[in-house]
Chains A and B, each alone.
Chain A
Amino acid sequence: MFPVIDWNLISLEVLISITLVFLVAVDIALPKNADKDWVGIFSFMALFGLIIFWATQANLNGVTFSGMFVMDSLAWFFKGFFLIAMVFVFAMTQEFFKSLGERRNEFYLLLWLALIGMCLIASSADFLLMFIAIEILTISLYVMTAYLKSDKLSIEAGMKYLILGALASGFFLYGISFLYGAAHSTHFDVIQGYCQTHAMAPMTLFALVLIFAAVGFKIAAVPFHMWVADVYQGAPTPVTALLSVGSKAAGFIVLIRLFFGIFGAWHGQWGLALAVLSAITMTYGNLVAMFQTNIKRLLGYSSISHAGFLLMGAAAGSALGASGINFYLLGYLFTNLAAFLVIIVFSIATQSDEIADYAGLSKRSSLLACTMFLALVSLAGMPPLAGFFGKFTLLMAVIKSGYVWLALIAGVNIVISLYYYLMVVKRIYVDSPRATSPIAVPPVMQWLLGLAIIGIIVIGIFQGPFLDAAMAAVNGMYLSHL
Chain B
Amino acid sequence: MITPNLSWVLLLPMLGLGFVCLVPSDKTSLIRRISNVAVLVPFILSVWIFAAYDHAAGGFQFIQNIPWVVPLGISYHLGVDGINSLLLLLMGAASFAAVLVSASIKERVKEYYILLLVTIIGTYGAFLSLDIFFFYFFHEVAAVPVFLMIAIWGSERREFAAMKLTLFLTAGAAIALIGLLALYLATGVQTFDLIVIQQQLANHPLPMTLQNWIFPLIVVGFGITLTLWPFYTWAPVGYAEAPTAISMLHSGVLKKMGAYAIIRFAIQLMPQAAHTWMPIIAGLAIVNIIYCGLVALTQRDLKYILGYSSCSHMGYILLGLACFNTIGLNGVVFLMFAHGIMTALAFALTGFVVDQTKTRHLDELGGLLKCMPFIGTCFMMAALASAGIPGFANFVSEVLVLLGAWDQYRWLTVLAVFGLVITAIYLLKAIRLGFQGPLNPKFAGLADAQTLSAKFPYVMLLALLILVGCLPSIILTHIGSSTKTIVESMR
Binding site for B on A (CB under 8 A): 362, 373, 377, 382-384, 388, 392-393, 395-396, 399-400, 404, 407-408, 410-412, 414-415, 418-419, 422-423, 425-426, 429-430, 463-464, 467-468, 471
Contact = CB atoms under 8 A, between A and B. Distances in A.
15 contacts: A396-B72, A396-B181, A407-B181, A414-B174, A415-B170, A418-B167, A422-B147, A425-B147, A426-B159, A429-B151, A429-B152, A430-B152, A430-B159, A463-B68, A464-B68
B137 A419 contact: no
B137 A384 contact: yes
A464 B70 contact: yes
Nearest to A411: B174
Contact of B178 (A362, A411, A418, A430): A411
Contact of A422 (B163, B177, B182): B163
Interface stretch (B81-89, B138-146, B225-233, B413-421): B138-146
B336 to A, nearest CB: 24
Contact of B166 (A395, A400, A418): A418
A463 B71 CA distance: 11
Contacts of A422: 147, 163, 166
A467 B137 contact: no
Contacts of B111: 362
Contacts of A419: 163, 167
Given A382-B144, A399-B178, A464-B68, A415 B151 contact: no
Contacts of A388: 137, 140
The 7 A-B pairs at the shortest CB distance, nearest first, are namely A411-B174, A464-B69, A383-B137, A415-B171, A383-B140, A430-B151, A407-B178
By CB atoms of chain B within 10 A, which of A384, A395, A408, A471 has the most?
A384
Contact of B69 (A412, A418, A467): A467
Interface string B34-46: 0000000000000
Contacts, number: 86
B182 A399 contact: yes
A382 B174 contact: no
Contacts of B143: 382
B321 interface: no
A467 B70 CA distance: 9
Contacts of A395: 177-178, 181
A384 B141 contact: yes
A377 B170 CA distance: 12
Given A382-B140, A392-B177, A418-B166, 12 more contacts: A395-B177, A399-B185, A404-B182, A411-B177, A419-B163, A422-B147, A422-B166, A423-B163, A430-B159, A463-B69, A467-B69, A467-B72
Contacts of B148: 373, 425, 429
Contact of A411 (B70, B151, B171, B184): B171
Contacts of B162: 426
Contact of A468 (B71, B177, B182): B71
Contacts of B133: 392
Given A377-B144, A382-B140, A430-B159, A396 B174 contact: no
Interface string B91-117: 000000000000000000001000000
A382 B148 CA distance: 14
Interface of B: 68-72, 74, 111, 133, 136-138, 140-141, 143-144, 147-148, 151-152, 158-159, 162-163, 166-167, 170-171, 174-175, 177-178, 181-182, 184-185
Contacts of A464: 68-70
Contacts of A426: 151, 159, 162-163
B184 A396 contact: yes
A355 to B, nearest CB: 15
B137 A399 contact: no
A155 to B, nearest CB: 38
Nearest to A407: B178
A316 B69 CA distance: 21
By CB atoms of chain A within 10 A, which of B68, B72, B152 has the most?
B72
B438 to A, nearest CB: 39
A4 B206 CA distance: 57
A383 B148 CA distance: 15
Contacts of A468: 70-71
A331 to B, nearest CB: 14
Contacts of A396: 72, 181, 184-185
A414 B172 CA distance: 11
A465 to B, nearest CB: 9
A380 B75 CA distance: 24
B231 to A, nearest CB: 13
B174 A415 contact: yes
By CB atoms of chain A within 10 A, which of B138, B152, B174, B185 has the most?
B174
A422 B145 CA distance: 11
A362 B107 CA distance: 13
B177 to A, nearest CB: 7
A222 B55 CA distance: 58
A464 B136 CA distance: 17
Given A382-B143, A414-B174, A426-B159, A467 B182 contact: no
A66 to B, nearest CB: 36
A138 B316 CA distance: 62
A467 B67 CA distance: 14
Contacts of B136: 383
A404 B178 contact: yes
Contacts of A383: 136-138, 140-141
By CB atoms of chain A within 10 A, which of B140, B178, B185 has the most?
B178
A464 B76 CA distance: 11
Contacts of B69: 463-464, 467
A301 B198 CA distance: 43
Contacts of A377: 144
A42 to B, nearest CB: 37
A411 B158 CA distance: 25
A378 to B, nearest CB: 10
B181 A418 contact: no
Given A396-B184, A399-B181, A399-B185, A414 B170 contact: yes
Nearest to A418: B170
A437 to B, nearest CB: 19
